[in-house]
Amino acid sequence: MVNGFDANKVVHRQYTTQGRRHAGVFVTPDLRLAEHFSGGGDTVLEIEVLAKNLHGTNYGGNIGREQSMDPETVAWLQEKYPDSFRPYLSLTLLQTSEPQALLRGLVRPGQIKRVQHKGTWYTRKAFLELGVEVHNPYGKGEPLQDIGFDLSYPNYSLEEFFEAMAASFKMGVDRIRQSMLRLTKLPSPRRERAIMDILDRAGFGPTAAKAFESKLMAAGGV
């Protein structure tokens, strides 16, 4: 998340007994609640997002919640929050018990205003300088780092994309360029699966990954 993230990515929900998967990240204006859901307050990110990217907390990930409500409930919400552009969001974000919203959309590194780690607040830069080690899904431990690229941004040029990949994997740009263009020569659908898998491993969200997959295909003559 510290290098930009795509809250449109579909992942398993951590707090559920039903193994649900849906897009979005639950956020809250309540620091104590954020600490609770972060495993005791180990690390909490304070981010600034556009209101249009926030939705009421339907726990199935349905951001069209109000459209699926009965007319009486919709009318009650509109009466309760007459000035709200999204009354159900106002309800879940302002409720006294576990106020939350579902964030959908892209979040740039610059939108991270502060990071609380083990009870102390840091700027994003100071937090990264702590050298906190994390374990990725493949079990490899490595320190968090500022790679200098926004992994949620879909509009980099192809060369900038290669540079971002190189920074993420700590490899040379030429090697990354050759490896990625080689993948475009694989037969479909193996080609698409291989490209999207490596982009996911690099940390790109689905919005950026899809854009760079298309650019790679074009560069490879596919």
Please count the CA atoms within 13 angstroms of the CA of 172 that sit on its side-chain side: 3
Is residue 89 in some structural domain?
yes
Q: What range does the domain containing 205 cover?
A: 158-219
Is residue 81 in some structural domain?
yes
- CA gap 195, 182 in Å, rounded: 10
Residues 116 and 193 in one domain: no
Residues 65 and 104 in one domain: yes
Residues 193 and 120 in one domain: no
Is residue 41 in some structural domain?
yes
Residues 51 and 98 in one domain: yes
| pLDDT value, residue 12 | 77
Residues 183 and 77 in one domain: no
Choosing from 128, 150, 173, the residue where a domain stops is 128
Residues 32 and 101 in one domain: yes
Please give the single-letter amino acid code of residue 171: M
Is residue 151 in some structural domain?
no
| pLDDT value, residue 10 | 84
Is residue 138 in some structural domain?
no
Is residue 139 in some structural domain?
no
Picking from 25, 22, 85, the residue whose alpha carbon sits closest to that of residue 51 is 85
Residues 92 and 38 in one domain: yes
Alpha-helical (H) ranges within the chain are 31-37, 71-80, 87-94, 124-128, 158-169, 173-183, 190-202, 206-219
Choosing from 128, 146, 172, the residue where a domain stops is 128
CA angle 16–5–32, rounded 5-degree value:
50
Residues 197 and 96 in one domain: no
Look up residue 26 and give its DSSP letter.
E
Residues 13 and 69 in one domain: yes
Q: How many domains does the chain have?
A: 2
Residues 103 and 202 in one domain: no
Is residue 170 in some structural domain?
yes
Residues 106 and 12 in one domain: yes
CA 168 to chain centre: 16
Residues 122 and 181 in one domain: no
Is residue 55 in some structural domain?
yes
pLDDT in tens, the chain (222 residues): 889 999 988 877 776 656 678 888 899 999 999 998 887 668 999 999 999 999 998 777 677 767 678 889 989 999 999 999 999 999 999 999 999 999 999 999 999 999 999 989 999 999 999 988 877 655 567 788 899 999 999 999 999 999 999 999 989 999 999 999 999 999 988 999 999 999 998 999 999 999 999 999 999 876
| pLDDT value, residue 191 | 92
